[in-house]
Amino acid sequence: MAVDISGDIIEVENLEHSFGDVKAVDNISFTVRKGEIFSFLGPNGAGKSTVINILTTLLRLQKGTAKVAGYDVDKEPEKVRESIGIVFQELTLDRDMTVRETLEYHGRLYSMPKEERRRRTEELLRLVQLEGKGDTRTKYLSGGMKRRLEIARGLMTRPKVLFMDEPTIGLDPQTRIRIWEYLREINREGTTIFLTTHYMDEADQLSDRISIIDHGKIIITGRSWELKNKLGQDLIYLESSDNRAAAEMLRELGSVKEITEKPKGLVLMLSGDGTHLLPKLMEMLTERGIVITTVNLKKPSMDDVFVHYTGRELRDEGAEKMSSAIIRAGKR
């Protein structure tokens, strides 16, 4: 039914949305290809949910155009609604309905035939490991179980496009990984997934392409490795007795693409292999009487990409920090 099945399943052009004085979405354009997993990565208040709300027809489009599954969200909202599934950021369960009733209600809303509803319900309960909980009221589920139920609900109708607003928020690491697996699985079966997240690893590992979004704008879009490669092949972080002098000197080196100053140290982006450069570089600095106190060589991570493009850290104090702390400890 949908127009141009092969190409872009979401097309957004010059989208803007304001709440009073707050410009939540500021002239955003992007496309999502059919069959992709596409992520919006951005900090709190970046405008991710607002974009999702517009694309899912919950918010009236103010400015720009947006098409989902070939239908204009402003002109044919019903058609859009038929083509999509949504997992909302906040819990949207009826506390007094059972798990099975929740899925049943959803299936009915989408006019699924009875037989299919039943079959799909059991299938999904198995998928999200809630088999034993079918007749439990949702208020008696743990937070993670509720989230899994909502994800199951989003999958119920096998939508063409599945929107997921921070799908794995509040889930334990095992469950997150399991859910990523489900998502890859249903993606392989043909569902396009649009997700928002502020987890670096989620964007990194799950998505085909990522848009970094901040202050209502898309800052950069690309495949995870493309984004990382833009930062260079390797990154060196160092702290020394005189960071300014060190920076000046290192800027001369051909293989250093860019240097950013941090509160206590420097980040060097390298266009080449860092493993050979690092010893030379340390030697040079030592010759000039600059004492290196900390040094760390690593591949750019999504974290670095994010910090580079937004100038801010996402509160994602995860493995990255740990590993550099360990290297630091090892140096002493």
- Whose CA is closest to 150, among 174, 166, 173, 135? 166
CB of 246 to ligand ATP, least distance (A): 37
Task: Give one word for 87, left, alpha or beta, with left for phi > 0 and alpha for psi -120 to 50.
Answer: beta
| C-alpha dist (Å) from residue 55 to 17, 67, 281, 310 | 12, 8, 50, 25
- Whose CA is closest to 107, among 51, 146, 153? 153
Distance CA(220)–CA(256), nearest Å, equals 22
The answer to whether residues 29 and 202 touch, using CB atoms and an 8 Å cutoff, is no
CB of 39 to other proteins, least distance (A): 20
256 Cβ contact list (under 8 Å, min separation 6): 250, 268, 269, 270, 271
For residues 18 to 57, the per-residue mask of contacts with ligand ATP, x marking binding by CB under 6 A and - elsewhere, is -x--x-x-----------------x-xxxxxxx-------
CB of 197 to other proteins, least distance (A): 19
18 Cβ contact list (under 8 Å, min separation 6): 24, 62
Residue 234 has which token pair?
């390797």
Nearer to Mg ion, 18 or 233 (CB): 18
Nearer to other proteins, 91 or 291 (CB): 91
| 89 near Mg ion (CB under 5 A) | yes
Nearer to other proteins, 56 or 224 (CB): 56
Which residues would be at the binding site for other proteins (CB under 8 A)?
Answer: 49-50, 53, 56-60, 78, 81-82, 84, 86, 88, 90-97, 101, 105-106, 108-111, 153
| 133 near ligand ATP (CB under 6 A) | no
| 219 near ligand ATP (CB under 6 A) | no
Stretch that binds ligand ATP, among 16-24, 155-163, 244-252, 286-294 (CB under 6 A): 16-24
> What is the binding site for Mg ion (CB under 5 A)?
48-49, 89
> What is the binding site for ligand ATP (CB under 6 A)?
19, 22, 24, 42, 44-50, 89, 198
